[in-house]
C-alpha cells in the first residue's frame, strides 16, 4: 500500500453536525431579524466560525453594522446554541461506516488525523467515542489560513511525518476538497458527485470507501 495516512474532516464525514451548525445560525439570524434560506448552508460547510458569521451577516445585509468585539459576541452566542444542541451526541450519531473505516485504517497501519475547521472537534470526538483512533488532531485555532487553503491538511501530514503524496484527505465540503488538492493529496469526497466534482473520487458515505481503489489512484 502506498497510502500511509488518512486525514479526516469531521462534520459531514464522521458525524452530521452540519444540521446543528446551520440550525444554530438560523436562531442567531432570527434574533437579528432575518431568515436564512436552505441554499446558504452549503456556503458555510467546512468554513470557520468567524467566516461563516460574515456569510450570515452579509445575507442579512448587516455585515457593516457590528464592531469586531460585537462579531465575536455573536459568534460566541451561536457557539453556545450549537454546543447545547450537540450535548446529547453519542456513538449513535456517527455516520454510516465511520468506525469501520477508522478500524480498517488502523488495521492497515495507515495513520489517522483529524483536520476539522471546528474548534469543537475534540469535544465531538469524545462524545462519539472515537478519540482513540486518532494519531493527531489539528487545532484549527493554530492554522493561519482556513480551508480552501492547504494549511490544515499540510499541518496534519507534517505532524504525522508523512509526505502529502502518500496522504488522502476525506471531506464533504467543496472548500475542504480544494484544501486537500492544494496540499497535494488525494481528495476523497463524501456526498454528491456533481457537487464534489473537484475530488479525485467520491463516495456517498464512509461505508463504501475502498482503500484499495484510493491506493490505485495514488501515483
Are residues 21 and 32 in contact, defined by beta-carbon separation less than 8 angstroms?
A: no
Query: Which cell is 151 given?
Result: 494549511
Q: Which of 7, 20, 44, 56 binds ligand B16 (CB under 6 A)?
A: 44
Element holding 171 (H helix, E strand): strand 167-171
Element holding 57 (H helix, E strand): helix 49-59
Collect all residues with Cβ–Cβ distance below 8 Å to 197 and sequence separation of at least 6: none
11 is a site residue for Mg ion (CB under 5 A): yes
Q: What is the smallest separation between the CB atom of 8 and ligand B16, expressed in angstroms?
A: 9
Q: What is the smallest separation between the CB atom of 148 and ligand B16, expressed in angstroms?
A: 12
CA distance 121 to 129: 12
Which residue is closest to Mg ion by CB? 12
Query: Which cell is 37 given?
Result: 434560506
Q: Check if 205 is active-site.
A: no
Element holding 157 (H helix, E strand): helix 151-160
Contacts to ligand B16 from residues 172-191, by CB under 6 A? 173
Contacts to ligand B16 from residues 74-133, by CB under 6 A? 79, 116-120
Would you report the helix, strand and coil content of the chain in percent, each value rounded to 5?
A: 50, 10, 35
Are residues 149 and 138 in contact, defined by beta-carbon separation less than 8 angstroms?
A: no
The residue (of 3 and 196) whose beta carbon lies closer to Mg ion is 196
CA distance 107 to 133: 11
Residue 179 interacts with, from Mg ion, ligand B16, none (CB under 5-8 Å by kind): none
Q: Which of 3, 5, 7, 11 binds ligand B16 (CB under 6 A)?
A: 11
CA distance 105 to 49: 30
Query: Which cell is 18 given?
Result: 452540519
The residue (of 137 and 173) whose beta carbon lies closer to Mg ion is 173
Binding mask 43-82 for Mg ion (x = CB under 5 A): ---x------------------------------------
Contacts to Mg ion from residues 172-191, by CB under 5 A? 172-173
Q: Which stretch binds Mg ion (CB under 5 A): 5-13, 33-41, 120-128, 149-157?
A: 5-13
The residue (of 4 and 179) whose beta carbon lies closer to ligand B16 is 179
Positions in the binding site for ligand B16 (CB under 6 A): 9-12, 18, 21, 44-49, 52, 79, 116-120, 173
Catalytic residue list: 9, 11
Amino acid at each position: 500500500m502506498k497510502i500511509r495516512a488518512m486525514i479526516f474532516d469531521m462534520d459531514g464525514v464522521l458525524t452530521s453536525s452540519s444540521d446543528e451548525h446551520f440550525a444554530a445560525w438560523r436562531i442567531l439570524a432570527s434574533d437579528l431579524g432575518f431568515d436564512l434560506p436552505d441554499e446558504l448552508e452549503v456556503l458555510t460547510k467546512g468554513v470557520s466560525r468567524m467566516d461563516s458569521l460574515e456569510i450570515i451577516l452579509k445575507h442579512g445585509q448587516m455585515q457593516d453594522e457590528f464592531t469586531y468585539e460585537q462579531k465575536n459576541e455573536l459568534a460566541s452566542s451561536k457557539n453556545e446554541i450549537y454546543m447545547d444542541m450537540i450535548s446529547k451526541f453519542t456513538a449513535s450519531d456517527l455516520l454510516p461506516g465511520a468506525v469501520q473505516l477508522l478500524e480498517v485504517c488502523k488495521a492497515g497501519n495507515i495513520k489517522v488525523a483529524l483536520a476539522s475547521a471546528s474548534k469543537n472537534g475534540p469535544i465531538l470526538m469524545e462524545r462519539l467515542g472515537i478519540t482513540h483512533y486518532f494519531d493527531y488532531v489539528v487545532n484549527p485555532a493554530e492554522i493561519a489560513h482556513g480551508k480552501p487553503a492547504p494549511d490544515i491538511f499540510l499541518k496534519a501530514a507534517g505532524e504525522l511525518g508523512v509526505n502529502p503524496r502518500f496522504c488522502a484527505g476525506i471531506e464533504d465540503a467543496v472548500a475542504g476538497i480544494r484544501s486537500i488538492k492544494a496540499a497535494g493529496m488525494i481528495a476523497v469526497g463524501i456526498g454528491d458527485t456533481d457537487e464534489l466534482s473537484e475530488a479525485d473520487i467520491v463516495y456517498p458515505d464512509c461505508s463504501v470507501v475502498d482503500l484499495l481503489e484510493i491506493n490505485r489512484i495514488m501515483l
